[in-house]
Amino acid sequence: MNEDSIEALIQNVKNPGWSKQKAAAISKLGKDGSPNAVSTLVWVLKYDSYYDKTLTIEALGECGDPDTVPALLDVIEDSRYHWENYAAIKAIGEAGPTGIQTLEQLFESTTWTTDSTSFLDLRRKVAETLGTKGWTPATVRQEAILALIEKDWDALVQFGTLVIPYILRSHGSYNSTDEDNSLETLVKIGGIGIEELIEYVGDNDYRVSDAAAKALGRIGDPKAAASLCAAMHSYASSVKINALVELGVNGVPILLQFLQDESKSIRSGVTQALGKIGDLSASSSLIAQLDDKDKEVRYQSAEALGKLADKNAVPHLIEIAEEDEEREVREISFWALGVINDPRSTTFLTEMLDNRFLINSAAKSLGNKLRNRQWTPKNINEEFKYYLGTRQWDKIVKRGHPVSEHLLAWLDEPDEDIQYHAALCLAKLDNEKGFLTLQDKAERGNARSARALGELGDRRVVPLLIRIAERLIGRFEQQEDYTSRWDRFDQFPNFSRSDVDLGFEVAGSLAKFRDGMSIRLLVLLLKNHPDYHVRSYAAERLGGMWEEPTAINALQRALVEDEDRGVRISSEKALARLVKI
């Protein structure tokens, strides 16, 4: 190529922006390979700001000039794109003996690319590039790195401390299985690698630091404690804490130093770790942490004291269970009292069965003591309150009429859930007041009570259910012009969520007595409700009824006319079920 042609190509390449002509000029300069061409391509690589530099990198590779190596190394150091890095490695491989020597140096380096997510991938690409040039490993170090690339964990153990830096630097690219295998490899290398692992705990790359800490924790050498302590405030302190847990009682003195740390996450993690280790010498320090200003620290301290099962903590846990401002902290304190075998905790928990605000937590904790044979109810009152606190309603009913008096006392409970279940239990025990309470609740729109009346199977409820159904039908029959099927429930004045829920439950209860009003309710919901979810559910429920013309006609109409495919499918399935019935 003559000089004028080269100059024309160089001028084209140096034009700002990107074009097909510029791309073609870059390719031609690569094929030319003259000093002018090389220097121009290096300039483009360094100073042109276009997005993809791969074409220029490949052109430099075609030049095969050793002078291109520094610029290509800069690409690998600065680029965020793996395809540019791979192209640069391949191009360096084309730069003759200088390129091969450079790649070998990069391959063995422990500091080239500090990003652990690409550490192993780049060396894999180097090995592939060298392999195309007939290269084979010439040193033990090169063999070790190839074993790591191939993830031959058993072979890596044989290389000893030589592989430690490479295993640690590669941690960002491991999946969970690789990570576990790499840590086990470091553990097998064992004592001879302790000092090197300790050094890497303070590494600037948090992935490397964390991997070293995890390995030290698994090895369990007390010499690691000081380095883990020094690195506590680096990224991911939890990893260092967990490593100290692996040291067992040897890690306790270090952990205790951080109970007053300014970082609440470190204080919380340390209290949790002390509970995992289970060393009673930490008990007094954990008791002091119950007064920490942070709720998570108090929570973890109470849980840890429960795991230690230290009886000295009982008075302090009782105080927290009664007075702490955070519900979660109170509940974990109750749990801790339930697992500590001490008469004071049992007495306190039994007394709390009389506290309407704490009965649930107390009953759950007493359940632990009951399973461990540390407590049994002394009388029917304690037994009832234990069942009530643990929501074991079936056992209350099985206990029979002796609990009726206790249930009646709970009908005035502000908690709607307890009030409902107390009434249901009484009704199942043929108590008239429970039966009347359920009827009153259903009349006032409580859907669960309407369902419960049907489950009781007493025909005395039919007139009430019909009355509720007629009231709902009066609302559901009033159709309106809804602008969107996607409107929310609260934008449908005739179809409030509570009315729809009540309608389904009343329909279900009336169906148990084969009353036609149940079908009428469901037909109206299928026909008039603007939300396709409700229409679809109404169709499904009609499919569980008996064969009746009104239901069949409504389903056939929905199958043909409803705009929603899901409703049409539900209607088709419901019709198939009705025919079988």
* CATH number of the domain bearing residue 322: 1.25.10.10
pLDDT band at 479 (very low <50, low <70, confident <90, very high): low
- Cα torsion 476, 477, 481, 486: sign: positive
Domain that holds residue 41: 1-136
Per the CB < 8 A criterion, the answer to whether 564 and 534 are in contact is: no
Measured between alpha carbons, how far is 79 from 57 in angstroms, rounded to an integer?
A: 12
Residue 292 three-state SS: coil
The pTM of the full predicted model, rounded to 2 decimals, is 0.63
Least confident piece of the model among 131-135, 256-260, 410-414: 410-414
- Residue 176 resides in a domain: no
The reply to whether 352 falls in a domain is yes
Of residues 488 and 195, more confidence is placed in: 195
Q: What element of type H or E holds 531?
A: none
Is a pLDDT exceeding 90 seen at residue 114?
Answer: no
Q: What is the mean pLDDT of residues 232-236?
A: 65
State the virtual CA torsion across 528, 531, 532, 533 in degrees, nearest 10.
-120
Last residue of a domain, one of 82, 116, 136: 136
Residues 478, 567 within the same domain: yes
Which of 523, 538, 516 has the alpha carbon at shortest distance from 462?
A: 516
* pLDDT at position 484 over 50: no
Confidence of residue 490 (pLDDT cuts 50, 70, 90): very low
- Centre a 10 Å sphere on the Cβ of residue 501 and count the other Cβ atoms it contains: 17
Q: Which of 136, 156, 184 is at the close of a domain?
A: 136
Token representation of residue 349? 């928990």
How would residue 333 be classed by pLDDT, with cut points 50, 70 and 90? very high
Co-location of 376 and 506 in the same domain: no
Q: Is the separation of the CB atoms in 441 and 449 below 8 Å? A: yes
Residue 192 lies in a domain: no
- What total number of domains does the chain contain? 3
Distances, alpha carbon 304 to alpha carbons 293, 363, 580, in Å: 17, 21, 60
Q: In which band, very low, low, confident or very high, does the pLDDT at 483 lie, cut at 50, 70 and 90?
A: very low
Please state the rounded mean pLDDT for residues 541-561: 89
Q: 469 and 351 in one domain?
A: no
- Same domain for 559 and 458, yes or no, is yes
CB neighbour class for 278 (10 Å; exposed up to 12, middle 13-18, buried from 19): middle
Q: What is the pLDDT of residues 419-444, one digit of tens each?
A: 888 888 988 888 888 889 999 999 99
Residue 498 CB partners (closer than 8 Å, separation 6+):
445, 447
| Cα separation, 331 vs 338, whole angstroms | 11
- In terms of Cα–Cα distance, which of 221, 222, 250, 227 is closest to 239? 227
324: pLDDT confidence band, cut at 50, 70 and 90?
A: very high
pLDDT at 488 over 50: no
Predicted pLDDT at 580 = 65
Confidence of residue 494 (pLDDT cuts 50, 70, 90): low
> Residue 510 is encoded by which pair of tokens?
């009336």
For residue 412, what are the contacts with CB-CB under 8 A and spacing of at least 6? 419
Q: 338 and 469: one domain?
A: no
* Residue 382 shares a structural domain with residue 502: no
Could you tell me if residue 545 is inside a domain?
A: yes
Are 506 and 468 contacting, i.e. CB atoms less than 8 angstroms apart?
A: yes
What average pLDDT score do residues 39-62 get? 81
pLDDT above 70 covers what percent of the chain?
93
pLDDT in tens, 529-540: 888 888 999 999
User: Tell me, what's the pLDDT at 528?
Assistant: 85
Q: Are residues 291 and 373 in the same domain?
A: yes
Task: Say which residue, 579 or 300, is predicted with more confidence.
Answer: 300
- The chain-wide mean pLDDT, for the chain, equals 85
How many Å apart are CA 413 and CA 258, to the nearest integer? 46
Q: What is the model's pLDDT at position 475? A: 80
For residue 305, give the H/E element and its range. helix 295-308
| 398 domain-assigned | no
Is there a single domain that holds both residue 7 and residue 98? yes
Q: Is residue 20 part of a domain?
A: yes
Same domain flag for 25 and 124: yes
Q: Which two tokens stand for residue 44?
A: 């483009």
Residue 384 lies in a domain: yes
Residue 21 lies in a domain: yes
Q: Residue 496: which region, alpha, beta or left (left: phi > 0; alpha: psi -120 to 50)?
A: beta
pLDDT in tens, 461-476: 999 999 999 988 888 7
pLDDT, greater one: 202 or 92: 92
486 & 384 share domain: no
Nearest CA-CA partner of 366 in 358, 417, 411, 272: 358
What mean pLDDT is predicted for residues 263-290? Answer: 90
| pLDDT for residue 55 is more than 80 | yes
Would you tell me how many other CB atoms lie within 10 Å of the CB of residue 124? 19
pLDDT digits over 135-186, tens only? Answer: 888 899 999 989 998 889 989 989 888 888 888 888 777 788 888 888 888 8
Structural contact between residues 107 and 131, judged by C-beta atoms closer than 8 angstroms: no
Q: Tell me the one-letter amino acid at 159.
A: F
Nearest alpha carbon to residue 147 among 171, 131, 113, 123: 123
> Distance between CA atoms of 140 and 185, rounded to whole angstroms?
18
| Same-domain check for residues 475 and 387 | no
Residue 176 and residue 260: Cα distance in Å, rounded? 34
Which of 342, 357, 391 is the C-terminal boundary of a domain?
391
Q: What confidence score (pLDDT) does residue 295 get?
A: 94
Q: Give, to the nearest 10 degrees, the angle between helix 206-219 and helix 176-189.
A: 50
- Kindly state the average pLDDT of the residues 283-299: 93
Whether 512 and 383 share a structural domain: no
